[in-house]
Amino acid sequence: MTITSISDSTLKRLSRYLHYLHQQKARNPLLETVSASQIARDLNIHHTQVRKDLAVTGLIGVPKVGHSLTDLTKSIENFLNWNNTEDAFLAGAGNLGRALLGYSGFERVGIQITALFDNDPDKIGKEIMGREVLSIHRLPDLVRRMKVHMGIITAPASSAQEIADLMVEGGIEAIWNFAPVELKVPQDIIVESVDIYSSLAVLSRRLSEKIKGG
């Protein structure tokens, strides 16, 4: 299975290359080609690594010319499956959930949030950004009926595990977790956590080193 041998780090770098390509295009709409060595230099990644990463997507650059910006963008997007629209259920209708619901960037990465859940009786039945908030207890049945594969957890840490259990019960196969907890799920369920604290840990520590050291 060569297909699953691609590391998380490669996938994360591919996503960074995409940001970079979009930024370059925004700065210079007439730009047509980009080279691996240019990406490497601007993102401070070794050029051998960039070439290896790009090769994974199946695209081959033209020597001395580089890659067509459009082809490279499409190639990475295809590889990350961002050109297929994936329906997702979101659980947790607070500010973070709202932020994700309103995120126009999701269309670009193939995510469509089709239903919104919460356990708060004050929120259930109300509309948030054009979507009715449904009771969290309806989640498993709706996952089954709508054959949804992806669940997003934007609830507080205290209810995240309970939500994950309901998602797994319904048949969700991949969970995008924004709650600062370690979820316990069966081995075949994919979990990716966005842990803002771990990023803050690096920032806080580096800042204190700088202030104390300077």
Q: Are 152 and 113 in contact (CB under 8 A)?
A: yes
Under rule CB under 8 A, residue 158 binds a copy of itself: yes
Q: Which of 31, 32, 42, 171 binds a copy of itself (CB under 8 A)?
A: 42
| Total interface residues for a copy of itself by CB under 8 A | 67
Binding range to a copy of itself, per CB under 8 A, among 47-55, 109-117, 119-127, 134-142: 109-117
Considering the complex, what minimum distance in angstroms separates the CB of residue 116 from a copy of itself?
Answer: 14
What's the CA dihedral at 128, 130, 135, 140 to 10 degrees?
-130
Task: State yes or no: residue 69 binds a copy of itself (CB under 8 A).
Answer: no
Q: Does 40 bind a copy of itself (CB under 8 A)?
A: no
Question: Tokens for 67?
Answer: 């890659």
Structure tokens at 171: 């048949």
Tell me the CA distances in angstroms from 172 to 15, 150, 159, 189, one per residue in order.
Answer: 24, 6, 17, 8
Interface segment toward a copy of itself; rule CB under 8 A; list 59-67, 92-100, 117-125, 137-145? 92-100
Binding test (CB under 8 A) with a copy of itself, winner from 8, 121, 127, 130: 8
Q: Is 142 in the site for a copy of itself (CB under 8 A)?
A: no
Residue 196 in tokens: 């803002």
CB neighbours of residue 130 within 10 Å: 7
* Backbone Cα Rg of the chain: 20
Could you say which of 66, 120, 173, 185 contacts a copy of itself (CB under 8 A)?
173
C-beta of 64 vs 212, nearer to a copy of itself: 212
CB-nearer residue toward a copy of itself: 102 or 125: 102
- Positions in the binding site for a copy of itself (CB under 8 A): 1, 3-4, 6, 8, 11-12, 14-16, 18-20, 22-23, 26, 42-43, 79-82, 84, 86, 94-96, 98-99, 102, 105, 109-111, 149-150, 157-158, 173-174, 176, 180-182, 188, 190, 192-211, 213
